[in-house]
Structures are given as C-alpha cells and as structure tokens.
C-alpha cells in the first residue's frame, strides 16, 4: 500500500518550497490558504520502476502529482491483458476524477523508471477546493483534458488501423521524449514491442511486423535499444491514414 512507503520525515524549507511550486502548478490560481491546507496534508514518495501504486477497480483516496519520472496509465482486459492508455510526465496530476466522483479507479497506475510523486490526501484536497467555488472552472478544465484524452483513444481504435495508431503513438513519444541527433530524432525513452503493442492494442508479434514496415518505409530505425524517427513527414502520413 502507498501508506506503507510514505516518507514521514519532517521536510526542509527547500523541500516545502518545491512542494508549494508543485501545488501551484497542479492547482493554478488556487489561493495560498487552500494550498497550504493541501500542503500540510501531503507527502512525497519515491517509487522504483514498475511499481503499481493504484490498481484498477481500487478506491482512489489520493491525488498524485508527478514531480519526477513517468507514470503509465493502463487498462486491464477481462483476460488480464494490459493496454497502455497513455504516459504521463512531470507536471501532471492523477486521481482527480476518483477523488471527486467517489468511484473506483478505471485504470492501473504504474511507474516507468524511478518516479517521485507528491501525494495529496483526497478528502483534504476536495475540502480545500470546495471552499473556493470560483476555482471550480479550473477543476472542470483539467477533467475536460482527461475526457478529451479518453475520447481521442476511443476514436483511434474506432477509425485508425494498427499501423496508423503506432505511428501516432511514436509521434507522441517523440514530442515528449524526442532529442535531436545527427542520426535523427532519438526517442530518449526505451521501449520494446510488448510495451508499444500495449499502447495500440495488438500483440508483440504484430507490433514487430508494424515496426518492420515503418523501418522499410524509411520512417524510423533502431539503434542501441532506442527508436529514432528518421522522417517525421512519412510517420505523420501513416498517422493520418
């Protein structure tokens, strides 16, 4: 459980300032009094790679703000197959939906690499936000962002081929993790066929075939365990099919 790994040591002044900046980013425009209430009831946890800190169908008691690292949001089928809905990077808050509607988590939340989270008690955060009715539109804005993400994923599966979905996910990874090199745009985030297959809802074998096709078309290549985007235009064209 998350509670068992929380670091309950007294934070330093520098750490408090870091947490306040994170809260300001997570709740833009929320008055300082309410931010301080949330801060006093928050903690920072350091998690290792592949740590599932929220399970699908579990109650959501906390809001998690990503300070460092990456979190993958996964949906698990009735057969136990895990599909990656999206990857979230520092600056994203997770758990708002469950904290506000009181329903169970629709997804697993799993760390990718060492990850540092600011954990805010859901009841306290909800109380602080309810004290600020003028802030409700900001909460709606954040939740609308998540709704758009879900609808985008639904649309992908409804109208796009697996190759188009893969091209789109590679472009998204490039936008977040892309590093310009002499060889092309390096996706500075190690992936494999199983991981990418989980992002587009196909098997590892099918993903390998799709990657081979994109390589033959000159869109991508691999080196040292990393994917490189060789031609963004070709990859974009596949994404639009």
Global confidence as pTM: 0.75
Residue 208: strand, helix, or coil: helix
SS3 content of the chain, % helix, strand, coil (to 5): 45, 25, 25
pLDDT in tens, 99-158: 888 899 989 999 988 999 999 998 998 888 888 877 777 777 777 777 777 777 777 777
Q: Give me the residue spans of the domains in the chain.
A: 2-158, 160-239
Decide which of 1.20.1730.10, 3.30.110.30, 1.10.10.10, 3.40.50.300 is the CATH code for 160-239. 1.10.10.10
Q: How confident is the model at residue 161 (pLDDT cuts 50, 70, 90)?
A: very high
- Give the lowest-confidence range in 44-48, 109-113, 155-159, 217-221: 155-159
Distances (CA, A) of 30 to 14, 24, 129, 146: 21, 7, 8, 20
| pLDDT at position 8 | 47
Q: 178 CB contacts (<8 Å, ≥6 apart)?
A: 185, 186, 187, 188, 229
Check if the beta carbon of residue 235 is closer than 8 Å to that of residue 214: yes
pLDDT surpasses 70 at 3 = no
What is 2-158's CATH topology? Jelly Rolls (2.60.120)
Q: How far apart are the first and last CA of the chain?
A: 44
CA dihedral 188, 189, 190, 194 (to 10 degrees): -140
């Amino acid at each position: 459980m998350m509670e068992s790994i929380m670091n309950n040591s007294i934070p330093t002044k520098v750490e408090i300032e870091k947490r306040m900046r994170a809260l300001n980013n997570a709740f833009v425009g929320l008055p300082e009094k309410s931010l301080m209430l949330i801060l006093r009831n928050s903690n920072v946890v350091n998690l290792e790679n592949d740590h599932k800190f929220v399970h699908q169908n579990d109650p959501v008691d906390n809001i998690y703000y990503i300070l460092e690292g990456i979190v993958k949001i996964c949906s698990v089928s009735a057969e136990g197959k895990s599909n990656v809905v999206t990857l979230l990077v520092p600056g994203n808050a997770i758990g708002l939906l469950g904290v506000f509607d009181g329903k169970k988590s629709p997804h697993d939340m799993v760390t990718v690499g060492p990850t540092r989270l600011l954990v805010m008690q859901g009841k306290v955060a909800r109380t602080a936000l309810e004290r600020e009715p003028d802030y409700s539109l900001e909460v709606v804005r954040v939740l609308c962002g998540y709704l758009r993400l879900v609808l985008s994923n639904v649309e992908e599966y409804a109208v796009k081929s697996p190759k188009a979905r893969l091209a789109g996910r590679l472009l998204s990874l490039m936008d977040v993790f892309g590093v310009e090199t002499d060889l092309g745009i390096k996706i500075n985030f190690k992936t494999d066929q199983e991981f990418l297959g989980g992002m587009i809802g196909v098997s590892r074998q099918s993903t390998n075939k799709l990657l081979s096709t994109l390589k033959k078309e000159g869109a991508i290549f691999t080196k040292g365990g990393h994917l490189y985007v060789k031609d963004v235009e070709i990859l974009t064209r596949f994404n639009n099919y």
